[in-house]
Amino acid sequence: MENMKKFSVVIAGGGSTYTPGIVMMLLDNLDRFPLRKLKLYDNDEQRQAVLGEALDIVLKEKAPDIEYTFTTNPEEAFTDVDFCFAHIRTGKYEMREKDEKIPLKYGVVGQETCGPGGIAYGMRSIGDMIEMIDLMEKYSPDCWMLNYSNPAAIVAEACRVLRPNSKVLNICDMPVGTLRRMSHIIGKEPKDLEVRYFGLNHFGWWTSVKDKEGNEYLPQIRDYVAENGYLTQKEVDTQHMDASWQETHKKAKDLLAVDPRFLPNTYLKYYLYPDYVVEHSNPSYSRANEVIDGREKTVFSTAKAIVEKGTAEGSEFEMGAHATFVVDLARAIAFNTHERMLLIVENNGAIANFDDDAMVEVPCIVGTDGPEPLSQGKIPEFQRALMYQQVTVEKLVVQAYIEGSYQKLWQALTLSKTVSSAKVAKDLLDDLIEANKGYWPELK
């Protein structure tokens, strides 16, 4: 390890509840991915300071040789960095709550990344993402951004159109989490498994799950999911999983029923069973409230306890359970490991019968030059039609943002499978414009 290169990393969105978990995971992986510098960057000074001070104590105790800072100054944040790990949330949980609750007033799915909520969040995020890419390129032109900010599909499409040559990799932790569940079902470790998968972000299907010897486990996993969804007892017992997530993993059995050949991404429930989702949503207490009352309180109270005591002993931050995928990705770029991972990339033939310029989620081999998508062949027309509808929504959102076009955003909402009519789409849009004043570009 002494001869291994040491890296400088900036975490953009330093005030995020996910930041301590990512930092703990980085400290746990120093043998694979050594660090010389670690910086946190956020535009909310107060929020970041709470976590920043606590993590300062953690680093002094666990890895005093790593140079550590937290800052709101872009030049300080982005100078001399090799990797930017980005998990930003424009508008924070206050706006997420609106994304979830405004659509429910119209009987439409209210969700962070799917349907109108995802569109609203996407419109808020594009500007900040592009600004961050530009800052990174200005101060560290060789830096790679590993972006796992939601809504990943819209953000990835915006990067494709506005910054096509930038070193930005878009990745999502959802397939990583689902693969972990699959590995529990068959008694394996995720690293023992290789998958084939096609789709868009939060909108796809596994077509194969094999071990390294080439044994196919898809039928066995499918039989389990047909009965239980992806929910495993191990998770219920050990992870204190929020009720809303348990329900999501259970619902996968109904998604599987629509096409039993492939294993579905759990997010498809918002598109295939929107009526069910709305029926089971509480318009006055959404997922944002669950997070504010749960993870937010836990993480920030842990941070305050560490700062008060002046030590992290007895008040440890929890490690991000499947956050190691970020290190795997960074290592692939840094050490040319040819890691096989699901990434959101321009299709260019990976799915043979789908648009070349669509941002799709497929397995890629990742090396020093970035990702090389693996061919997934032709896909069935049912999935292709669903994906075409959804990718067009995402493209229209990005065009609406760039052109400041009310018309295109109305079309995007109308086309979304979660919205029942153009009238509902228009009423919703007018409401969302009002709620997002100061965040969205002006629409004409």
The residues annotated with a catalytic role in the active site are 173, 267
All domains of the chain in start order, with CATH: 7-170+288-313 (3.40.50.720)
Q: CA-to-CA distance for 303 and 54, rounded, in angstroms?
A: 5
Q: Which residues contact 126 (CB under 8 A, 6 or more apart)?
A: 154, 155, 158, 162, 398, 401
State how far the Cα of 16 lies from the Cα of 224, in Å rounded to an integer: 35
Q: What contacts 243, CB < 8 A, 6 or more positions away?
A: none
pLDDT at 247: 86
pLDDT in the model for residue 3: 76
Those residues of the chain that have pLDDT short of 50 are 1
Q: State how far the Cα of 254 lies from the Cα of 251, in Å rounded to an integer.
A: 6
pLDDT for position 259: 98
Give binding residues as ranges: 96, 150, 172, 202, 287
**Greatest distance between any 2 Cα atoms in the chain:** 64
**Residues forming the annotated binding site for substrate?**
96, 150, 287
> Which distant-in-sequence residues (6+ apart) come within 8 Å of 406 by Cβ?
400, 429, 443, 444
The residue among 269, 257, 265, 251 whose CA lies nearest residue 361 is 265
For residue 70, list its beta bridge partners: 40
Report d(CA 101, CA 284) in Å as an integer. Answer: 7
Alpha helices in 110-208 (DSSP H): 115-139, 152-162, 174-186
| Residue 317 backbone class (left: φ over 0; alpha: ψ -120 to 50; beta: rest) | beta
Q: Which residues pair with 263 in a beta bridge?
A: 206
- Regarding pTM above 0.85, the answer is yes
Binding site members for Mn(2+): 172, 202
